[in-house]
Structure 1
Amino acid sequence: MGDQLEKFIMDNREAFDTATPTDKTWSKIDQRLTKKGSVWPSIWKVAAMLFMASTIFLMIDKNTDEKEGPILSEEFTQAEDYYVTLINQKRQAIKSQLTPEQHEQFLVEIDQLDSMYVELKKTYQTNASNDRVMDAMINNLQLRLDILNKQLDILENIKNQNNESDISIEI
């Protein structure tokens, strides 16, 4: 049956091509297309807006990541952690032996070196990982540790002198 229909269409093709639909038919087709087609443009508009918003977000996010500056090497980070841990231990040892006023006076130089270290870190971030700045940061950490060690030695000597004078008085 399908072959007969196909043969009929092929034989009468000219008759099909000459017939045109009426204006009423075209208006019905046009109404149906405008009703169904009105949803798609709004969906495409929403999709385009979402795409634009995500693109802008990603561009802003990328720009803020670039402003953070260079990342410190793993080796430097480990060294920094090591020194900071030692410095904090020494600070606690000094704090336990002194009154709050003495503690504050004793650590004036260390606090100055702390602020210098913060400045060095900012400089490192802006100067695209300058090796001299990184060396200065390590030297700063070592200097703080040396000062704290000397301060602990001084406190130990004072403590030993007080103990010796107490012993000699008792005898």
Structure 2
Amino acid sequence: MGDQLERFIVENREAFNDASPSDKAWEGIDQKLSKKHTIWPTIWKVAAMLFMVSTIYLMIDRSQSESEEGPMLSDEFTQAEDYYVSLIAQRKRAIQEQLTPEQQEQFLVDIDQLDSMYLELKKTYQTNASNDRVMDAMISNLQLRLDILNKQLDILQNIKNQNNENDISIEI
């Protein structure tokens, strides 16, 4: 039976190709297609508009927050800064425990000057849109403060050791 159907189609192929659906059938198909297509383009247009509006809002919000606060410091720099600041605070406490207030003032003059320079560098960093040279100078400042404090602690330790040796030799 399959062979007969196939042979019939091959012999009457021209008759099948000439037939076309009526205009009423095309109108029904066109109405069904136009109903489906009118909903999706509208949804996509609304979605695109919402995306554009939210993107513009976020860009404006970010630029305003950066202009108010300045550029954000990197996490790596913030961690390094926290590390140095904690070490500097620890060294300052160690010096303050060993000295009188007048002596502390003399020992910490350079550190106070470097503190104010660091604050100026931080302001410069915020106004110069995150210049790497300024960030390097900030790290150098922190390292210099730590070095000075370490040297001062060494000096105090040497003085303390000399005083202990003198006390021991006097006792003998």
TM-score bucket (shorter structure) = 0.5 to 0.7
The runs of 5 or more residues in structure 1 that have no matched partner are 1-57
- Distance change in 2, residues 1:131/1:79 (3 Å): same
Q: Which runs of 4+ in 1 moved over 4 A?
A: 60-64
CA deviations on 1:53-98 (whole Å, 9 max, x unpaired) are: xxxxx9x976751331110000000000000000000000000000
- TM-score, reference length from structure 2: 0.63
Which one-letter code corresponds to 2:84 in the other structure? Y
Residues 36-66 of structure 1 show CA distances to partners (whole Å, capped at 9, x for unaligned) of: xxxxxxxxxxxxxxxxxxxxxx9x9767513
Q: Matches of 1:68 and 1:130 in 2, distance apart?
A: 15
Taking only aligned residues, the RMSD between alpha carbons, in angstroms, comes to: 1.9
Displacement after TM superposition at 1:103 (Å): 0.5
Kindly provide the CA deviation profile for residues 101-153 of structure 1, in whole angstroms up to 9, marking residues without a partner as x. Answer: 11111100000000000000000000000000000000000000000000000
* Alpha-carbon distance in 2 for matches of 1:86, 1:104: 19
Match of residue 129 from structure 1: 130
Unaligned runs of 5+ in 2: 1-57
What residue number does 2:99 align with?
A: 98
Match of 1:65 in 2: 65
What CA distance in whole angstroms lies between the structure 2 residues aligned with 1:64 and 1:105?
Answer: 43
| Residues in 1 aligned to 2:154 and 2:86: alpha-carbon distance in whole angstroms | 19
Match of 1:146 in 2: 147
**Structure 1 residues 74 and 139: alpha-carbon distance in aligned structure 2, compared to 1, 3 A threshold:** same
Question: Structure 1: which amino acid aligns with 2:127?
Answer: T
TM-score, normalisation: structure 1: 0.63
1:112 maps to 2:113? yes
Aligned residue type for 2:72: I
Match runs of 1:36-47 below 5 Å: none
User: Which deviates more from structure 2 when the two are superposed, residues 159-168 or residues 62-71?
Assistant: 62-71
The change in CA–CA distance for 1:64 and 1:101 in structure 2 (over 3 A counts) is farther
Please list the CA deviations of residues 11-49 of structure 1 after superposition, one character each: whole Å capped at 9, or x if unmatched.
xxxxxxxxxxxxxxxxxxxxxxxxxxxxxxxxxxxxxxx
Counterpart position of 2:29: none
Q: 1:168 Cα deviation (Å)?
A: 0.4
Q: Say how many residue pairs are matched.
A: 114
Distance 1:108 1:69 in 2: 30
- d(CA) in 2 for partners of 1:124, 1:85: 21
Q: Which residue identity lines up with residue 142 of structure 2 in the other structure?
A: L
Q: Helix, strand or coil for the counterpart of 1:72?
A: coil
